[in-house]
Chains A and B, each alone.
Chain A
Amino acid sequence: MVSRRRGMSAAAGAPGDAGLLALADDVVRQAEAAGATEAEVLASADRSALTRFANSEIHQNVAESRVALNLRFVVGRRVAVTSTDRIDAEGIRHLVDSAAAIARVVEELEDWGGLPGAAPIAPVSGAAAAGTATASPEFRADGVRTVIAAADEAGVVAYGSFSTGTDTIAIATSCGIRAAEERTSAQLLTVMMGPDGGSGYAEANAVDATTIDAAAVGREAAAKARASANPVDVPPGDYPVVLEEYAVVDVLDMLGMLGFSALAVQEGRSFVEPGKRIGSERVSIWDDAGDPAGLPMGFDYEGVAKQRVQLVERGVCRDVVYDAQTAARDGRASTGHGLPAPNPWGPFPLSMHMAPGTASRDELIGGLERGLLVTRFHYTNPVHPRLAIITGMTRDGTFLVEDGRIVGPVRNLRYTQSYLDVLAATSAVGSERKLVRGLLGAAVVPAIRVDAFTFTGATQR
Chain B
Amino acid sequence: MRELTDRAIETALRRGASYVDARVVSRREESINIKTGRIEGVASSESEGIGIRAIVDGAWGFASTNRLEPAAADETAAEAVRIARASATALRTPVVLDERPPARGTYRTPVEEDPFAVPLETKIADLLAADEAMRRVRGIAFTESLYAAQREEKTFADSAGSFTEQTITHVGAGLEANALEGNDHQRRSYPDNGGAWQAAGYEYIRGLDLAGHAEPIAEETIELLSAPQCPSGRFTVILHPSQLYMQIHESCGHPSELDRVFGTEASYAGTSFLTVDKLEAGFRYGSELIDIVADATAPGGLGTFGWDDEGVAAQAVPLVKEGIFVGYLSSRETAPRIGRRSGGAMRADGWNRIPLIRMTNINLLPRPGMSLEDIVADTDDGLYLMTNRSWSIDDRRLNFQFATELAYEVKGGRLGRLFKNPTYTGITHELWRSCDAVGDDRSYEMLGTPNCGKGEPGQTGHVGHAVSGARFRNVQVGVGKW
- Residues of chain A at the chain B interface (Cβ within 8 Å): 12-13, 48-68, 79-87, 91, 94-95, 98-99, 101-102, 105-107, 109-111, 136-138, 140-141, 144-145, 148, 157, 159-161, 163, 189-191, 193, 267-269, 341-344, 378-387, 389, 391-393, 395, 412, 414, 416-418, 454, 456-460
How far apart sit A223 and B343, CA to CA, in the bound complex (Å)?
Answer: 39
Q: What chain A residues lie within 8 Å of B142 (beta carbons)?
A: 267-268
- Cβ–Cβ < 8 Å partners of B396 in chain A: 459
Closest beta carbon of chain B to A383's beta carbon, Å: 5
Please tell me if the beta carbons of B394 and A393 are within 8 angstroms of each other in the complex: yes
A384-B421 in contact (CB<8A): yes
Instruction: With both chains docked as a complex, state the minimum distance between the C-beta of A96 and any C-beta of chain B, in angstroms.
Output: 12
Q: List, in ascending order, chain B residues with CB within 8 A of A109's CB.
A: 38-39
Shortest Cβ distance from B32 into A: residue: A106
Residue B380 lies at the interface, judged by CB distance under 8 Å to chain A: no
In the assembled complex, B415 has its CB within 8 A of some CB on chain A: no
Cβ of B16 < 8 Å from any Cβ of A? no
Q: From residue A447, how far is it (CB to closest CB) to chain B in Å?
A: 22
Chain A residues with Cβ below 8 Å from B82 are 137
CA of A51 to CA of B425, assembled, Å: 36
Q: Which of chain A's residues have a CB closer than 8 A to the CB of B336?
A: none
Give me the 8 closest cross-chain CB pairs, A-B, nearest first. Answer: A342-B41, A416-B480, A137-B86, A459-B399, A159-B266, A159-B267, A83-B45, A58-B87
Given contacts A344-B35, A383-B480, A418-B482, contact A83 B46 (CB under 8 A): yes
Whether a CB of chain A sits under 8 angstroms from the CB of B434 is no
Instruction: Given the known inter-chain contacts A63-B62, A137-B83, please indicate yes or no for A54 contacting B263, CB distance below 8 A.
Output: yes
| Interchain CB contact under 8 A, B398 and A67 | no
Q: How far is the CB of B326 from chain A (nearest CB, A)?
A: 22
Against A, the Cβ 8 Å flags (1 = close, 0 = not) of B18-55 are 00000000000001010100111111111111000000
Asked if B144 contacts A61 (CB within 8 A), the reply is: no
Q: Which residue of A lies closest to B429 (CB)?
A: A460
- CB of B64 within 8 Å of the partner chain: yes
Q: Bits for B158-199, please: 1 = Cβ < 8 Å to A, else 0.
A: 000000000000000000001010011100000000000000
Decide if B264 is an interface residue (CB 8 Å cutoff): yes
19 A-B residue pairs with CB within 8 Å: A13-B65, A55-B93, A56-B92, A59-B87, A60-B62, A60-B456, A61-B84, A61-B87, A63-B63, A63-B64, A65-B65, A105-B120, A137-B82, A161-B268, A163-B456, A191-B266, A342-B33, A343-B40, A416-B401
Closest approach, in angstroms, between the C-beta of B384 and any C-beta of chain A? 20
Residues in chain A near residue B41, CB distance under 8 A: 79, 81, 341-344
A54-B266, A61-B61, A85-B49 as given contacts; A379 in contact with B40, CB under 8 Å: no
Does the CB pair A190–B390 fall under 8 Å?
Answer: no
Alpha-carbon distance A111/B40, docked complex (angstroms) = 11
Cβ–Cβ < 8 Å partners of A157 in chain B: 263
CB <8 Å contact, B43 and A82: yes
A55 pairs with B262, CB closer than 8 A? yes
Contacts beyond the supplied A61-B62, A391-B480: 19 A-B pairs with Cβ under 8 Å: A54-B264, A55-B92, A62-B353, A65-B64, A82-B44, A85-B48, A98-B44, A105-B124, A110-B38, A137-B87, A141-B86, A160-B267, A267-B142, A268-B141, A344-B33, A391-B390, A393-B394, A459-B399, A459-B427
State which residues 355-413 of B face A: CB under 8 Å: 390-396, 398-399, 401, 403
Among A13, A67, A344, point to the contact of B75 (Cβ < 8 A): A13
Are B83 and A342 touching (Cβ within 8 A)? no
